[in-house]
Structure 1
């Protein structure tokens, strides 16, 4: 199945090659950027898979050489980035291919930043004007090749990196961290297991939903978020139940990229809590967002009810009201086998106050429709533990 009607080239927000089989263009796209010896950064699992071997073989057929770096954990750390920089320098590489899910792409973008810096990684955390410290002259170019449909990191200007010592996740930001080229090839997602298809898809949903509900003025992002939510509603369950449904996979992949494009409008309490929980419990980020979703929606009800009514009409729910949307979200999660509470994934209340404080201080909290206090974040966390909506 070629799905030629879904093949396209876009230049928003960067150069995107969308369509089945587009991964075959990778060597020529590297040459277009002047890369002669790129470093492929991926995760340990993908490094052993056929799709990566096929990429290496394709480079060989084009008389090009590349190495692989895969020393990356599920929530990438500063040490992972340091090791990636060392691998880049040791191999005299001249560019980076970020290949995989959000963890690999986030790590790759941070490596691309840090190969040109003398200051430590945390000096570029997304606070105040830290980004102006970056020496852009030696940053590496990146081609991003997502293999999941969730984080949308391929169109982001930041990376989420775990500070193991402080037990927090930090955003590393610079405008030039946006990859130069993105390849969206849905064939690369066909082997993604059902539970990861669901969790990453719900991550994309959370991006679009929080962007849609954010308070800042950005009608373009709001419109993109609406359509991303519709694509996920219509296709994520199909892709989860039938992993070989290439058309559903393609729509989910595009929706993921759209969600990340939209969240320049802002994120919110789902991500503030998910970042905090991920740093402490090392849980899958998309799964955390999926579980937290109805509890955060309910807490934000007074500020977002009108927007949610418009959303329900757009995505075709029978009853255009807030309660109908909450009910649909809960049913949708059940169909995807997403747990209903944080307790279901072995999170406990022992760190409740700390979670509230961490979420309150997370950068994503600034985009939430209601400026929650530490106690309110703690209360949402407790509700999500106990299933109280």
Structure 2
């Protein structure tokens, strides 16, 4: 950015500050947390404390094949709970797959509580089920605007226990449910504080079966959660809001910063090791902690450009099939989709908070001596190469001719773009996408 452009931006910010009142309040929310090897064996006990008797267990076929859901179900039954299992979750859920899960729950219920065992796909599906077995309407009534009506739930939800088997999404900590709307070819979500799980049960031993590419993609999701929340617009940079107007993503703040910084420090020591040797229990435990910490950070501060871009990247995929994911289906995994434009996105946001971008680069790579807008992108590119991610959008099937369509999809994610530390125009997004076609 030129000195003239910087001066103009500063003048615009001063003018804005003179005509609006800045926010003075930030919010923080989190589920109850149980962490450690063997924690998943105690879910039955935990549910009994809520008074639950009939429980719906939600998982996907791949996780079901590991035996973890069956074991957890049996342990709940040994506590006297009646357990019904739904194992039809679709990896990277769609409105159709979530609708099928909701139909199953409505037909099989009523239930007193819901348990999700799996990655973000299972946990997000369980959130949608919980919303729609307790509240009127259908998915599109609650999906974020402008895609859906963004209605708020009118009734309380059931207790939801989220037990992740991947280290990445942080969905066990957040108020967000993500899905593809097939008819629109767009990935979007539902966001409301009542979707946040009641209890997050993080048992690192469940992640030992996670394939290498799943570990790499999910790990990049952790990293971008931490980086985006740490570089998000400061909470006091938003206009003041009334209590009923405040949303879960309130901007960077001192408490979210603490979790995000710690997540980055953990990733610096564990990410490469977890991908290289998935059976390393110490690395897996550190990754599970990092995922939890990053979720506690971004679940309040929010994410911005890389996540907004990830939605159309994943939603418009044609024929890319990564190793370690279900065969026969084109997919750009969420964490991979987020990572592919992250280096260019953080190069773009550097001028909004240089000190934060440089501090993040040093947390991720203490040996990093670079300064300027290339420092953090350089650290990210080294890490992406080391864990085996694709070399850019071109490798997953996109070309320059797709950029306008990708920009259009990203612009639909205004909830996320509003959290970016600087204003984002369509031309800015186009530059980020074009710069991400070939990263190395």
TM-score, structure 2 normalization: 0.81
1:313 shift after superposition: 4.2
Q: Is the 8 A contact 1:149 1:253 kept in 2?
A: yes
Moved more, 66-75 or 318-327: 318-327
Are 1:373 and 2:416 an aligned pair?
Answer: no
- Which position in structure 2 is the counterpart of 1:293? 342
Are 1:191 and 2:216 an aligned pair?
Answer: no
- Which position in structure 2 is the counterpart of 1:37? 54
- Which position in structure 2 is the counterpart of 1:225? 260
For residues 303 and 325 of structure 1, the distance between their equivalents in structure 2, rounded to whole angstroms, comes to 14
- Which position in structure 1 is the counterpart of 2:310? 274
1:148 shift after superposition: 0.6
1:242 alignment partner, one of 277, 293, 301:
277
For residues 278 and 249 of structure 1, the distance between their equivalents in structure 2, rounded to whole angstroms, comes to 26
Q: Give the paired residue count.
A: 377
- Which position in structure 2 is the counterpart of 1:123? 141
- Which position in structure 2 is the counterpart of 1:6? none
Q: Is the 8 A contact 1:216 1:266 kept in 2?
A: no
For residues 91 and 353 of structure 2, the distance between their equivalents in structure 1, rounded to whole angstroms, comes to 33
1:12 shift after superposition: 6.7
Alignment RMSD (CA, Å):
2.1
Give the 3-state SS of the residue equivalent to 1:172 in structure 2: strand
Q: 1:314 to 1:201 in 2, by over 3 A?
A: closer
Q: 1:53 to 1:310 in 2, by over 3 A?
A: same
- Which position in structure 2 is the counterpart of 1:47? 64
- Which position in structure 2 is the counterpart of 1:343? 394
1:302-381 aligned at under 5 Å gives the runs 302-315=351-364, 316-319=366-369, 321-322=371-372, 323-362=374-413, 363-381=415-433
- Which position in structure 1 is the counterpart of 2:153? 134
- Which position in structure 1 is the counterpart of 2:41? 24
1:234 shift after superposition: 1.0
Give the 3-state SS of the residue equivalent to 2:82 in structure 1: coil
What do residues 275-315 of structure 1 show as CA deviations (whole Å, max 9, x unaligned)?
11111114101011222221111222222322122334445
Q: Is the 8 A contact 2:102 2:129 kept in 1?
A: yes
For residues 24 and 343 of structure 1, the distance between their equivalents in structure 2, rounded to whole angstroms, comes to 44
Give the 3-state SS of the residue equivalent to 1:115 in structure 2: helix
For residues 375 and 314 of structure 2, the distance between their equivalents in structure 1, rounded to whole angstroms, comes to 30
Q: Is the 8 A contact 1:98 1:143 kept in 2?
A: yes
Q: Is the 8 A contact 1:144 1:181 kept in 2?
A: yes
- Which position in structure 1 is the counterpart of 2:187? 169
1:252 shift after superposition: 0.9
For residues 300 and 344 of structure 1, the distance between their equivalents in structure 2, rounded to whole angstroms, comes to 25
For residues 361 and 306 of structure 2, the distance between their equivalents in structure 1, rounded to whole angstroms, comes to 20
For residues 400 and 232 of structure 2, the distance between their equivalents in structure 1, rounded to whole angstroms, comes to 28
What do residues 2-60 of structure 1 show as CA deviations (whole Å, max 9, x unaligned)?
xxxxxxxxx97111000011111011111112221211111121122221221222233
Instruction: Please list every run of 5 or more consecutive structure 2 residues that lacks an aligned counterpart in the other structure.
Output: 1-27, 236-252, 318-330
For residues 99 and 359 of structure 2, the distance between their equivalents in structure 1, rounded to whole angstroms, comes to 46
What do residues 121-163 of structure 1 show as CA deviations (whole Å, max 9, x unaligned)?
22222349966641224x2221000001111000111201221
Q: Is the 8 A contact 1:203 1:287 kept in 2?
A: yes
For residues 283 and 153 of structure 2, the distance between their equivalents in structure 1, rounded to whole angstroms, comes to 40
Q: Is the 8 A contact 2:140 2:149 kept in 1?
A: no
Give the 3-state SS of the residue equivalent to 2:353 in structure 1: helix
Moved more, 127-136 or 301-310: 127-136
Q: Which runs of 4+ in 1 moved over 4 A?
A: 127-132
Q: Is the 8 A contact 1:201 1:286 kept in 2?
A: yes
1:283 alignment partner, one of 332, 339, 346:
332
For residues 18 and 320 of structure 1, the distance between their equivalents in structure 2, rounded to whole angstroms, comes to 37
Q: Between Structure 1 and Structure 2, which shows a larger proportion of helix residues? A: 1
Q: 1:201 to 1:314 in 2, by over 3 A?
A: closer
Q: Is the 8 A contact 1:15 1:180 kept in 2?
A: yes
1:66 shift after superposition: 1.1
